[in-house]
């Protein structure tokens, strides 16, 4: 099958605590990189729409995201809207862009996401994030976001014999990768002991099992495949994509199999469309909002059999240099998780990897990459498969 | 043509009203027979609006849990949030009021209610689990 769309340029702001900047300014930082990487692009003439993920307009009390972005980017009067699917908001924006290009309605679109979070006190941020889970039953009984993933972790430990050390190993691996990423929020390694001794947030999850609160933006320039080479000699093609929802109720999850049905279904759609199998993937960015999520996703995305997630991390299969390097960017854990930007930042890393621009974390000869973006209590999953 | 305002019965507000009176209820579709928890005004299986209340049993078994140490405002950590499965396979969420050393998967619990609806919003009673004497 011919590709759905092509990524011809990409940009990402430095992730971290970005004091003194608001989201529209972070958006411009990523936008400038998109322009600079693509000398053949005439932004005002070529870009036909902006689809921008953002989880909450509460952070800056600034709604009407699309028009704000279009105004600041000097792209008026192009259409622009915000997409929201909690932590999968940028994945949803990419989905929109791909659909627009594949339908023929537009030939060149700017997609991605942004979130500015660190200027608000942690309890406020936590309360904005909590809105991605059901309010009347889950949150009402004191379930926090780490708490939800802790429910999954306890079930996984019980069913498959995984343990807190396996989770700590995921954090250690992602910090090791992130130390090689000059745009990551943290650029330092951590030890297993540090991770295991960090303070408990929602048992069995500790501070080092949780991704940080981060500011950042990431964007991709997406075109119809037949015109991609007008913009670059090295387009990255989107060859498959799936999007699926699971229950918004945390307590309704499958605690027996310990799996997210949204992951499994989105991956099934994407693999089928791309005509590739999990073993064909050379590099993947998957949604490690909490370490247990990454472990479950090894299984849900088919990189190993159900229940064998621990083996993937214990045996180094997912490390740089391993059979399938996962989260070479540092993942959400170390690169950071500006919620609305994450789905695009994952594809930014895949774009770098497939165009041989990932520097010291380059996976040699990577040809097929996968990005997996998850929202809420496993309630929205977007899987995108790319090839060079 | 008239468009009468319909007041569905099996809503979240009504669920908590009943809970406040000591009744733990789900919706049951009178067309396809599905028991629906949390209740909603439209059957998610056959889309019938013909739903009625059915009372749920007040005992179940812990399928997973967590101990919250970093809590939202209004909650005093540490506390245990548990998911409990009833005999008919319906799962519910609540706060387990037991010693942390007592909690484990498979623990048999009773289901109780705490709090009443107040003036402001949101204001629901809460579902509480305690260790069942039978286990």
CB contact under 8 A, B71 and A123: no
Q: Which of A129, A144, A258 to mutate to test the interface with B (most CBs of B within 10 A)?
A: A144
Residues 6 or more apart whose CB falls under 8 angstroms from that of B74 comprise none
At B54 the pLDDT is 97
At B134 the pLDDT is 66
Cα–chain center distance at A80: 21
Does A5-120+214-236 match A144-202+237-387 in CATH topology?
yes
Nearest-angstrom CA–CA distance, A233 and A356 = 13
Whether A151 contacts A255, CB under 8 Å: yes
C-alpha distance from residue A262 to each of A153, A211, A267 (Å): 18, 21, 8
* Interface contact B105, partner A, CB < 8 A: yes
Q: Tell me the pLDDT band of B2, cut-offs 50, 70 and 90.
A: confident
Q: Which of residues 27-86 of B touch A (CB under 8 A)?
A: 38, 63-73, 75, 78-79, 81, 83
Nearest-angstrom CA–CA distance, A198 and A209 = 9
* Interface contact B124, partner A, CB < 8 A: yes
Which of A124, A52, A120 has the alpha carbon at shortest distance from A85?
Answer: A52
Nearest-angstrom CA–CA distance, B22 and B17 = 9
Residue A123: closest CA among chain B residues belongs to which residue? B72
Residues 6 or more apart whose CB falls under 8 angstroms from that of A113 comprise A52, A53, A54, A83, A89, A90, A93, A217, A218, A338, A340, A341, A342, A343, A344
For domain A5-120+214-236, give the CATH number: 3.40.47.10
* Interface contact A124, partner B, CB < 8 A: no
β-strands A380-387, B59-68 pairing:
unpaired
Nearest-angstrom CA–CA distance, A155 and A161 = 10
* Interface contact A167, partner B, CB < 8 A: no
Nearest-angstrom CA–CA distance, A281 and A270 = 12
Helices (H), chain B: 12-20
CATH class for the region spanning A144-202+237-387: alpha beta
User: In this model, does residue B135 exceed pLDDT 60?
Assistant: no
* Enzyme catalytic residues of A: 87, 337
Nearest-angstrom CA–CA distance, A300 and A83 = 25
At A115 the pLDDT is 98
- pLDDT tens string for chain A (388 positions)? 589 999 999 999 999 999 999 999 999 999 999 999 999 999 999 999 999 999 999 999 999 999 999 999 999 999 999 999 999 999 999 999 999 999 999 999 999 999 999 999 988 898 899 999 999 999 999 999 999 999 999 999 999 999 999 999 999 999 999 999 999 999 999 999 999 999 999 999 999 999 999 999 999 999 999 999 999 999 999 999 999 999 999 999 999 999 999 999 999 999 999 999 999 999 999 999 999 999 999 999 999 999 999 999 999 999 999 999 999 999 999 999 999 999 999 999 999 999 999 999 999 999 999 999 999 999 999 999 999 9
CB contact under 8 A, B75 and A142: yes
C-alpha distance from residue A381 to each of A3, A83, A96, A263, A343 (Å): 21, 14, 14, 6, 10
* Interface contact A249, partner B, CB < 8 A: yes
Contacts of A143 in chain B (CB under 8 A): 66, 68, 81, 93
Contacts of A252 in chain B (CB under 8 A): 91
Q: Spell A252-278 as b/e; 16+ CB within 10 A means b.
A: bbebebbbbbbbbbbbebbbebbebee
At A290 the pLDDT is 98
Domain map (residue ranges) of chain A: 5-120+214-236, 144-202+237-387
Ramachandran region of residue A184, left (φ > 0), alpha (ψ -120 to 50) or beta?
A: beta
CA dihedral for A229, A235, A240, A242, sign (positive or negative): negative
**Which residue spans within chain B are E strands per DSSP?**
25-29, 35-36, 51-55, 59-68, 79-85, 91-96, 108-114, 126-131
* Interface contact A248, partner B, CB < 8 A: no
| Secondary structure class of A175 (helix, strand, coil) | helix
Residue B102: exposed, middle, or buried by beta-carbon count in 10 A (0-12, 13-18, 19+)? Answer: exposed
Whether B114 contacts A140, CB under 8 Å: no
* Interface contact A126, partner B, CB < 8 A: yes
Contacts of B93 in chain A (CB under 8 A): 137-138, 141, 143, 249-251
Q: Which of residues 198-217 of A touch B (CB under 8 A)?
A: 199-205
Q: Which of B70, B84, B103 to mutate to test the interface with A (most CBs of A within 10 A)?
A: B70
Whether B126 contacts B95, CB under 8 Å: yes
At A123 the pLDDT is 85
Q: Which of B24, B74, B93, B124 to mutate to test the interface with A (most CBs of A within 10 A)?
A: B93
Residues 6 or more apart whose CB falls under 8 angstroms from that of A336 comprise A15, A16, A184, A185, A186, A211, A212, A214, A216
The H or E element spanning position A205 is: strand A205-206
Which of A177, A142, A135 has the alpha carbon at shortest distance from A288?
Answer: A177
Bond into B38 cis (ω within 30)? yes
């Amino acid at each position: 099958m011919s590709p759905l769309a092509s990524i011809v340029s990409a940009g990402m702001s430095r992730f971290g605590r970005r004091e003194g900047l608001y989201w529209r300014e972070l958006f411009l930082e990523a936008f400038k990189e998109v322009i600079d990487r693509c000398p053949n692009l005439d932004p005002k003439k070529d870009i036909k729409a902006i689809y921008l993920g953002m989880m909450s307009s509460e952070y800056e009390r600034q709604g009407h995201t699309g028009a704000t972005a279009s105004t600041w980017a000097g792209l008026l009067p192009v259409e622009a809207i915000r997409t929201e699917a909690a932590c999968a908001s940028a994945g949803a924006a990419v989905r929109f862009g791909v659909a627009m290009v594949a339908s023929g309605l537009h030939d060149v679109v700017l997609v991605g996401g942004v979130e500015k979070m660190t200027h608000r006190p942690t309890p406020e941020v936590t309360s904005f994030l909590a809105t991605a889970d059901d309010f009347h039953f889950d949150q009402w009984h004191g379930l926090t976001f780490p708490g939800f993933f802790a429910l999954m972790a306890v079930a996984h430990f019980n069913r498959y014999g995984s343990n807190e050390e396996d989770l700590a190993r995921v954090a250690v691996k992602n910090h090791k990768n992130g130390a090689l990423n000059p745009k990551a929020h943290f650029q330092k390694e951590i030890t297993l002991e540090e991770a295991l001794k960090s303070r408990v947030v929602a048992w069995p999850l500790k501070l080092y099992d949780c991704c940080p609160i981060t500011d950042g933006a990431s964007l991709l320039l997406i075109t119809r495949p037949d015109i991609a080479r007008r913009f670059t000699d090295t387009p990255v093609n989107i060859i498959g994509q799936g999007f699926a929802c699971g229950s918004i109720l945390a307590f309704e999850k499958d605690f027996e199999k310990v799996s997210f049905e949204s992951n499994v279904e989105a991956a099934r759609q994407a693999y089928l469309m791309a005509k590739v199998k999990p073993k064909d993937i050379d590099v993947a960015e998957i949604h490690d909002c909490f370490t247990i999520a990454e472990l479950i996703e090894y299984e849900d995305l088919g990189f190993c059999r159900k229940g064998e997630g621990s083996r993937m991390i214990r045996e180094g299969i997912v490390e740089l240099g391993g059979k399938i390097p996962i989260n070479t960017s540092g993942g959400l854990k170390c690169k950071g998780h500006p919620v609305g930007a994450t789905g695009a930042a994952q594809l930014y890393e895949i774009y770098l990897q497939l165009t041989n621009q990932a520097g010291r974390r380059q996976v040699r000869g990577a040809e097929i990459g996968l990005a997996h973006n998850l929202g809420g209590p496993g309630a929205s999953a977007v899987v995108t498969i790319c090839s060079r | 043509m008239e468009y009468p305002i319909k007041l569905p019965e099996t809503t979240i507000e009504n669920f908590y009203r009943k809970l406040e009176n000591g009744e733990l209820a789900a919706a049951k579709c009178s067309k396809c027979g599905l028991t629906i928890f949390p209740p909603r005004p439209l059957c998610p299986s056959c889309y019938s609006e013909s739903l009625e209340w059915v009372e749920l049993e007040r005992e179940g078994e812990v399928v997973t849990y967590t101990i919250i140490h970093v809590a939202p405002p209004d909650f005093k950590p540490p506390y245990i949030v548990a998911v409990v499965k009833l005999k008919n396979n319906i799962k519910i969420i609540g706060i387990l009021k037991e010693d942390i050393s007592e909690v484990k998967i498979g623990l048999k619990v009773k289901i109780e209610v705490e709090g009443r609806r107040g003036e402001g919003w949101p204001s629901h009673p809460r579902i509480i689990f305690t260790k069942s004497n039978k286990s």
